[in-house]
Structure 1
Amino acid sequence: MRWVVLVILFFGAIINFADKSIIGLAAVPIMEDLDLSYAEWGLVGSAYYWLYPVTGIIGAAYADKIGAKKVLGVIMLVWAVLQFGVLAVAALPLLVVYRILLGAFEGPYSPIAYSHADKWFPPKLRGFANSVIVSGGTVGAMIIAPLLVAMITMLGWKVAFACLGAASVVWAIAFQFLTKETPVKAYEKAKKKKKLEKIRLKDFGKLLVSKAALFTTLAYFSTYILVVWIAVWLPVYLIEVVGMSQGEMGIGVMIIGIASVAIYMSVSSLSDRLFKKNQNWRVSRVYIVGASMIVGALCLASIIIFPNPVWAVVAMCVAKGLTYAILPIGPTIMINELPERGGLMTSILTSSGNIAGILAPMVTGLIINLSGSNEILGYNLSVLFMAVLVFVFAVLFITLVKPTVRQQSDESVESQSAESL
């Protein structure tokens, strides 16, 4: 059952990120159809994240209380309604409202998915399990890009959005009928508890500003600026700066997606293997991820120095793969700090990181506009900004994050999980 749960969560992440990324893949036809400027397009990209951080926390908290199946089923059906609603979008205000609502209901997915997977997998496999969910995001955002581009070209951008709505309906049905809420023993234990113990606001506040939680969140925040830039601006960058055609852009995005999945899943697996061997959070989680992010930031900055199209794709493959290592491992660190509130802790991480989504698209759009006719300079400045930010927060992450050491061993948790299955 654990693998069935993981596979379905993987496909949910595909839909989640396809919903996010299709707006970028359809950027050129949408901007032409609705006559949007770069600044207005930055507003469209930013609007998705205006409610995302808040609803991510609320949704994950409810999932901790009433169960992931109920919450994910509801929000996925809402995604479907909103995607079908795109057929009625005819102007910028409606497009912005659509993006705000879609972001609001897609915000809870990632933290709930990470927390839900955490229930089914022992610590030595959680990095891998989370990397599978993250890879679903990369598949949805990049690897199926040629398919999404083909749909946009042949069917029009509105019909392509509606097709993703249909996929959401199929997923919601599959998740409800093919999975269970928790492993048997965990479920029986949960039934004996009337409710979760309340957390004092003062104690929770202290936890959030602890070095482990704060600098893990900041590292995630810096990486998510790159996540948003890739989703909103990379397709336009490859067309207008690198000089690719629409079809070549789709293939380039796919290559970056495939290579980056292999890289960050390898990093996650290495982290898991080291944790199994030494049970050392600093070495296996913090040092491995932090070092990956630093190398990834340097590769990202190299695009400015070597603007060759081939190198741009290669560098983005490495940069995305290595910097994304924080996405699957970060949740394991946060959940470790307060295991009984896994959904809430992960939502704090993802929602705080997604604040970057509010700022990144608009800042990039403004930088390009301020660069006047020299659009390449604007793109390069935005890339340099992201590289420096990731580098700085990765150094702070390595230096200051010291996760809480739990007494329960990896083997004992695995044994309990295996018995429950």
Structure 2
Amino acid sequence: MRWFVLLLLFLGAVINFADKSIVGLAAVAIMKDLNLSYTAWGLVGSSYYWLYPVTGIFGAALADRLGAKKILGFLMLTWAVLQFGVLAITALPLLIVYRVLLGVFEAPFSPVAYSHANKWFPPKLRGFANSVVVSGGTVGAMVVAPILVALIATLGWKVAFACLGAASIVWFFLFQFFTKENPVEMYKEKQKEKKVKLEKLKLKDFLKVLGSPTALFTTFCYFSAYFLVVWFAVWLPIYLVEVVQLSAAQMGYSVAIIGVASILIYVGVSMLSDHLFKKSQNWRQSRVYVVAGAMIIGAIVMASSTVFQNPIWVVVAMCLAKGLTYAILPIGPTIMINELPERGGLMTSILTSSGNLAGIVGPLLTGSLIALAGANKIAGYNLSILFMAGLVLVFSILFAIFVKPISAKKNEDVSNGKVVGDEGQGNDSVLV
């Protein structure tokens, strides 16, 4: 059952990020249809994240109380309604309203999905499980790009959006009727105990956890990586066409190649992290140093694309940059949940929502840089790439220095008939 749950969480992430990224793939068509400038397009990209941090925290906190199954099902239905609503968009204001609402109801998905996977998998597999969920985002944003580009070209961008709405409806029925909320019945008793703890949690204690170097610099590092997440979703397709001079078809295949390669890279990094954790039980060696090292290399490689702008190298550099920099996305939630396990959904929502603040600034910054560059668009894109690479480099170094996760938590999880603590030690328990 846990693997089926993980499969659906993966597919949910595919839909989630396809919803986010299709606007980038359809950028040329939308800008032409609605007569939008680069500055206006930056506003469109930014609008998705205006309420994202707030609703992400609220939705994940609600899932801690009501259950992930109910919240995820509700979210999927709202996505379907909004995607079908695209058929009525005729001007920039309506497009912005659509993007704001989509961000409102898509924000809780990632933190709730990470928390839900956390319930189904033992600590030694959580890095891998979260990397699978993250890879769903890459598949949705990049690997399915040729399919979405073909839909946009043949059916038009509005119908392509509606097709994603239909996919949300299919996922809703599969998740609601073929999965369970928890691994075993005894876990429900643990949830009842957690609800009591939630009510007794003092704000002062909670803020102390959030202000700790571990939570603070994990969030900063995630924030820096999310500049790339947004850039890849909103600007990469246009960058490949206008700067690298690829055709629409070549752009679609290049985006897919970058997506597939990056999945292999960050899943590999997550598996390495899990392996080292299982072997040493050392959080800093297995989680912090592995992630920081990967991100530092990724930032340097991405910066190199501004110097060596051969199309082949640009694609290779983007593969490495995306794969290595995204290492924080699956590992960051495990670190945050470890700091306050009884508030898993809330902790991950603060991480992802704080990171998504980059979504507000990133598209506007890139759009402004391109507009300021005037006829020299390449300079505008290069400045945005160097800014992101520098940000990731600085925060990944700070992450390596200051993040020291609590390594002695005695949290219990049920897996393969055992209750497993955060250190990977198992105790006999009721079988599933």
TM exceeds 0.5? yes
1:350 maps to a residue whose letter is T
Q: Deviations over 1:165-215 (max 9, x none)?
A: 000011111110111111112123324666334321111111111100000
In the alignment, the residues of structure 1 paired with residue 144 and residue 378 of structure 2 have an alpha-carbon distance, to the nearest angstrom, of 27
The equivalent of 1:168 in structure 2 is 168
Query: Which residue is equivalent to 1:341?
Result: 343
Q: Partners of 1:356 and 1:253 in 2: how far apart?
A: 22
CA distance in 2, matches of 1:235, 1:213: 33
1:379 to 376, 381, 384: 381
Q: TM-score if structure 1 supplies the norm length?
A: 0.98
- Aligned 8 A contact 1:52 1:351 in 2: yes
CA distance in 2: counterparts of 1:40 and 1:337, whole angstroms: 41
Q: Partner of 1:320 in structure 2?
A: 322
Q: Deviations over 1:277-327 (max 9, x none)?
A: 110000000000000000000000000110100000000000000000000
The residue aligned with 1:89 is: 89
CA distance in 2, matches of 1:35, 1:323: 34
Classify 1:161/1:194 alpha carbon distance in 2 versus 1 (closer, same or farther; 3 Å): closer
Q: Distance in 1 between matches of 2:226 and 2:360?
A: 11
- Which residue is 2:299 aligned to? 297
Q: Which residue of 2 aligns with 1:69?
A: 69
Please give the root-mean-square deviation of Cα atoms over the aligned residues, in Å.
Answer: 1.4
Task: Please state whether the residue corresponding to 2:386 is helix, strand or coil.
Answer: helix
The 8 Å contact of residues 18 and 141 in structure 1, kept in 2 or not, is answered as: yes
Equivalent residue for 1:4?
4
AA partner of residue 27 (structure 1): A
Amino acid in structure 1 at the alignment position of 2:16: N
State the match for 2:416 in structure 1.
Answer: none
User: How far, CA to CA, are the matches of 2:149 and 2:190 in structure 1?
Assistant: 48
Letter in 2 for 1:17: F
8 Å Cα contact 1:220/1:327 also seen in 2: yes
Q: Tell me which residue corresponds to 2:398.
A: 396
Secondary structure of 1:244's match? coil
1:68 & 1:391 partners in 2: Cα distance?
A: 35
2 CA distance for matches of 1:122 and 1:182? 13
Q: Which of 275, 286, 289 matches 2:288?
A: 286
Q: Is the 2:21–2:233 Cα contact (8 Å) retained in structure 1?
A: yes
Q: Deviations over 1:106-153 (max 9, x none)?
A: 000000000000000000000000000000000000001000000000
**1:216-235 equivalences in 2 (<5 Å):** 216-235=218-237
Deviates more, 1:403-412 or 1:284-293: 403-412
For 1:305, what is the secondary structure of its paired residue?
coil
Whole-angstrom CA distance in 1 between matches of 2:78 and 2:428: 33
Aligned to 2:242: 240
> Residue deviations 1:37-82, cap 9 Å, x none?
0000000000000011100000000000010011111111000000
CA distance in 1, matches of 2:190, 2:289: 35
Return closer, same or farther for 1:96/1:211 CA change in 2, 3 Å cut-off. same
Report the number of matched residues.
421
AA partner of residue 342 (structure 2): E
Query: Is contact 1:219-1:394 (8 Å) kept?
Result: yes
Take 2:213 and 2:7, find their aligned partners in 1: how far apart are those partners? 33
d(CA) in 2 for partners of 1:277, 1:263: 21
Residue matched to 1:156: 156
Q: Does residue 23 of the first structure (1) align with residue 31 of the second (2)? A: no
The change in CA–CA distance for 1:220 and 1:39 in structure 2 (over 3 A counts) is same
Q: CA deviation digits over 1:243-290, x for unaligned, max 9?
A: 011110000000000000000000000000000011000000000000
What is the TM-score with the length of structure 2 in the denominator?
0.95
1:404 is paired with a residue of what secondary structure? coil
Unmatched tracts of structure 1, length 5 or more? none
CA distance in 2, matches of 1:366, 1:403: 38
How high is the sequence identity, in percent, across the aligned residues? 69
